[in-house]
Structure 1
């Protein structure tokens, strides 16, 4: 099999991956190869067929292929990486989808609602951990993009000494919706800092939101009171993928070498929360306004970790919020203590046992 430059390998065939893929089919004007990896071969074939059809409809030279990849096996992922030699690898699957909890009355779903989604961070981290390990195992130089709770998971990967380039979505949802509400000249110069917690707050009516968890600048001039200026905007839940998935397209294409771009990503190189970045082939770098330092931006994003449900300390310990600790302690005092990043596999196993016991 020929190994070409600018390949993108997207691992996962769920809803979020589908949105990214369909938008890539419409937006990609370069003759690159995009590979879809997963275990459901019928789904893989359909996604490749649909994406190639959409690309052809728009006269785009991008082409999509499918590849069987068992993400439970580092060897299977290593084989796929060796076969396709991608320039960008995207991990879009996780072991706990937020959508799987919708409308469920199980004890596990109730615990997750009470504790917050941060309780599932070990589930979110396992597949990115395996993918990053597989990249190193085959000596791949690919940029690695994790879409599973990247505001926190990327910190865990970095604390473990594993490779991570960035995430997609989250902060980019805010940069997109704010840009869409601004004049085009201002939208081009928009810079936004936001933590995952802002997604929770902006689902409420504006008078029920706590604080103002989104900061935005036009150029180097900060927009005062973002919450009030954009009070007409209230976010849905599952439908956010239509914005979040689309925001991944320019980032992935630039990482693959199809032109540099400005964008917004969560967890760049393992930082907490989301930031404006400059995206070039294989890497991202911060593109902050001159009026805020990197340390200030990081500190501001960290201030929302407790209310989001989970945080990662400098020494690599993962701590749940007080609300989460109290909720999960009714079932397991040990899980409530959190875990060190080196013990991620054991932490995920303990959480999986609890989920099975509670009917998740």
Structure 2
């Protein structure tokens, strides 16, 4: 990105996450040329204006362009990308927002949540796959940042040469709590404590709530003033319990600002690639989450001295089992664990053990229909279920 030129960012989607990210980008004061792409122009315009109002109250005034985007129309999306020539594209769309099942009655939610996050992968994959096809169609050089379950989706899309550059959220959402807890245990300011954390979505989602890992594998290196804290000086069990107690945060939709801030940190680092490390899922089409160094030369997994990339990948491949994913094959085929497949069958009446990237749209439609039926009979408002 040329010095003295505004970095052009196309934000696709103005739901909860897309709107929150727009807020933070506008408030950052960074030299950005922002465009929002959405299907519902009136709704998007009102959300953009809300973001501009808020930023103006904080002394920041910046225009935001609005364009119509329907990711299901690949050629139209490709034409738009060719016309705008964005440096960065942020995908904040999905066919199944993570919070939807939380609106179920508690008993119904518990039954479905037993299948873990991986069972919704087809619905997360459809729109970002369409976007990546559009990007490839016009040979765009844009860095694509995917917010839609990148721990698995990015790896699946890599199987057909459509992997986004990197994801956001998930592992990045757990890092601030770990730093706060570690700084408390070391009696140091948080700014003097850094970490390198490797883990799949499951662990980064569960640990801050339960204070444990449930046996899911991970790697964590902790640094104080740039020096690695020797193994054993900080007990990880005590650290994680502290994250879930003393440093527990608001969760759910009310806590969405943490995900939005992780996305904003990634987008700002990409806009000004100065070698900073940002934790992120799905970098370079890999399974799971990693610390990623962002430099002008590109993205690089930032490894502690005693951990190889193969070992980091293996940790995430084993950790994904806890999220209901048995494997992501080299060709992009996603395979569910037996336990998750049983939940799909017993709770939703839907039989699905695996699917290829090419099948994601059809499988997503079937899964959506089964979930809508389940939601209706369990008292969820139809507007939310659909």
TM-score band w.r.t. shorter chain? 0.7 to 0.9
Moved more, 75-84 or 98-107: 98-107
Q: Pick closer, same or farther for the CA change 1:18–1:351 going to 2, 3 Å.
A: same
* Match of residue 380 from structure 2: none
RMSD between aligned alpha carbons?
A: 2.8
Distance (whole Å) between structure 2 residues aligned to residue 145 and residue 284 of structure 1: 12
1:128-147 alignment, distance < 5 Å: 128-147=128-147
Deviation of 1:165 after TM superposition, in Å, equals 0.5
* Match of residue 11 from structure 1: 12
Aligned residues of 1:251 and 1:261 also touching (Cα < 8 A): no
Q: In structure 2, which of residues 196, 200, 210 is the aligned counterpart of residue 195 of structure 1?
A: 200
Aligned residues of 1:143 and 1:282 also touching (Cα < 8 A): no
* SS of 1:262 mapped into structure 2: strand
1:285-324 alignment, distance < 5 Å: 285-310=300-325, 311-324=327-340
Q: TM-score of the superposition, structure 2-length normalised?
A: 0.82
Query: How big is each residue's C-alpha offset from its partner over 1:51-93, in whole Å with a ceiling of 9 and x where there is no partner?
Result: 3333333444643222221122213322331332110001111
Moved more, 9-18 or 347-356: 347-356
Aligned residues of 2:170 and 2:205 also touching (Cα < 8 A): no
* SS of 1:346 mapped into structure 2: helix
Deviation of 1:241 after TM superposition, in Å, equals 1.9
Aligned residues of 2:216 and 2:322 also touching (Cα < 8 A): no
* SS of 2:220 mapped into structure 1: strand
Aligned residues of 1:260 and 1:280 also touching (Cα < 8 A): yes
Distance (whole Å) between structure 1 residues aligned to residue 192 and residue 288 of structure 2: 21
Deviation of 1:327 after TM superposition, in Å, equals 2.2
Q: TM-score of the superposition, structure 1-length normalised?
A: 0.88
Deviation of 1:300 after TM superposition, in Å, equals 0.8
Query: How big is each residue's C-alpha offset from its partner over 1:213-269, in whole Å with a ceiling of 9 and x where there is no partner?
Result: 553222544654423124222252333421121122231122224644221111101
Structure 2 segments unaligned to the other structure (5+ residues): 377-384
Q: In structure 2, which of residues 196, 215, 223 is the aligned counterpart of residue 211 of structure 1?
A: 215
Distance (whole Å) between structure 1 residues aligned to residue 82 and residue 312 of structure 2: 38
Q: Pick closer, same or farther for the CA change 1:69–1:233 going to 2, 3 Å.
A: same
Residue 352 in 1 paired to residue 362 in 2? no
Residue 229 in 1 paired to residue 233 in 2? no
Aligned residues of 2:123 and 2:360 also touching (Cα < 8 A): no
Distance (whole Å) between structure 1 residues aligned to residue 169 and residue 205 of structure 2: 14
Aligned residues of 2:160 and 2:331 also touching (Cα < 8 A): no
Q: In structure 2, which of residues 340, 356, 359 is the aligned counterpart of residue 340 of structure 1?
A: 356
* SS of 2:114 mapped into structure 1: helix
